[in-house]
Amino acid sequence: MAWYDMRESGSRAGIRLTLALLRVVPYGAMRALIAVIAFYYALFAGGARRAIADFQRAALGRTTFRTVHRTLFRFAESILDRACALIGRASLFRLAADNEAGSLAMHAGGQGVLVLGAHLGTLEMARAFHAARGVRFSMLIYSARSSVLYQEFRRISPGVDDAMIEIDPDGVTHLLEVRERLARGEFVGVLADRVWRTGPTATVPFLGRDRAFPTGPYLLAAALKCPIQLMFMFKTGPRDYRLVIEDFASIDDLPARAQRHEGAQRLAGRFAQRLEHHCRRHPDQWYNFFDFWAAPDADSASGGPPRG
């Protein structure tokens, strides 16, 4: 089963109860609660447990039940923290950033930026960080419209859709929306570590194995002539986040039309290298709960927690 076919775990009632408790229960107590929930998943979500262990062996050379549980806890914690931000409790967190000035300068100059992230850390928190500083920042997402988690996020914060561009697997409307927002000088975030059944890809080394990465983001940036930044938001303490911002490709670095295919493959390889670097530094914040090295349409175990 490919990542885009995986079903959510967890019920609407359970998600709704957790979000309701968040309004009245201290944050520290909520973290303790989700640690217990993560322990349950570590015991019984066999597909997710095996996928995390496989990644940890590739990134670190070892894995234990404790490190698997820590990853599941970090994932649950990321959902909790996003919910905090949506209900107006973002002040709970201390946020720091690398290269913040360079990123804000591009926005002040009216430059649209394609922001690449991955299911490593929480790019949505990076979006919230920029939005708090006046940057219009949207996320290109595939949430599957039936996603219970996103339905609940929309219920508690109806405006959440304004910052989301839903991917239409069978159309191009989302690409037209991305083009419009970039032309207006906005930032658009794309998670560039997952591939679809169809679409351009490049097979490049990642953590010692060959893996296909999408080249669509680089072709899009080249066609629209917009720079690319990398952003990864990592949890560094119970209430601390650090945003890593890297200038990845200027407009001059983007491939010309005649070399667009080869240039996009080169950029995909560079992205895989940077992703590998940050994976080794923050292996507990890797949130791909499927066989990451399998072909997009391969049959692989699932059973992970909600896709976020």
> Residues 226-240, buried b or exposed e (16+ Cβ, 10 A)?
bbbbbbbbbbeeeee
**141 or 39, which is more confident:** 39
Residue 110 lies in a domain: yes
Q: Output the average pLDDT for the chain.
A: 86
**Distance, CA of 212 to CA of 272 (rounded, Å):** 10
Residue 24 lies in a domain: no
- Report the number of distinct structural domains present in the chain: 1
Statement: residue 48 has pLDDT above 60: yes
Over residues 268-277, the pLDDT tens digits come to: 999 999 999 9
- Determine contact, residues 243/100, Cβ cutoff 8 Å: yes
95-104, 138-147, 229-238, 260-269: which range is least confident on average?
138-147
What is the per-residue pLDDT for 72?
A: 96
| Number of Cα atoms under 13 Å in the Cβ half of residue 75 | 26
Over residues 226-244, the pLDDT tens digits come to: 999 999 999 999 999 999 9
How is residue 302 written in tokens? 């699932």
Task: Place 164 in a pLDDT band, splitting at 50, 70 and 90.
Answer: confident
Residue 279 lies in a domain: yes
What is the per-residue pLDDT for 144?
A: 56
Statement: residue 75 has pLDDT above 80: yes
> Residue 150's domain spans which residues?
94-285
Q: How many CB atoms lie within 10 A of CB 11?
A: 10
Write down the pTM of the prediction: 0.89
Residue 123 lies in a domain: yes
The owner of tokens 């060959």 is 210
**135 or 301, which is more confident:** 135
Statement: residue 85 has pLDDT above 80: yes
Statement: residue 64 has pLDDT above 90: yes
Task: Place 40 in a pLDDT band, splitting at 50, 70 and 90.
Answer: very high
What is the per-residue pLDDT for 119?
A: 94
What is the per-residue pLDDT for 297?
A: 57
Residue 224 CA: distances (Å) to CA of 114, 219, 229, 256? 10, 9, 15, 12
Statement: residue 26 has pLDDT above 70: yes
Residue 47 lies in a domain: no
Residue 138 lies in a domain: yes
Residue 213 lies in a domain: yes
Residue 222 lies in a domain: yes
**Distance, CA of 107 to CA of 137 (rounded, Å):** 10
- Determine contact, residues 302/7, Cβ cutoff 8 Å: yes
SS (H, E, C) the chain: CCHHHCCCCCCHHHHHHHHHHHCCCCHHHHHHHHHHHHHHHHHHCHHHHHHHHHHHHHHHCCCCHHHHHHHHHHHHHHHHHHHHHHCCCHHHCEEEEECHHHHHHHHHCCCCEEEEECCECCHHHHHHHHHCCCCCEEEEECCCCCCHHHHHHHHHCHHHHHHEEECCCCCCHHHHHHHHHHHCCCEEEEECCCCCCCCCEEEEEECCEEEEEECHHHHHHHHHCCCEEEEEEEEEECCEEEEEEEEEECHHHCCCHHHHHHHHHHHHHHHHHHHHHHHHHCHHHECCCCCCCCCCCCCCCCCCCCCC
Statement: residue 254 has pLDDT above 60: yes
How is residue 89 written in tokens? 């409790």
| CA 294 to centroid of chain Cα atoms | 19
**Distance, CA of 240 to CA of 203 (rounded, Å):** 35
18-22, 75-79, 135-139, 285-289: which range is least confident on average?
18-22
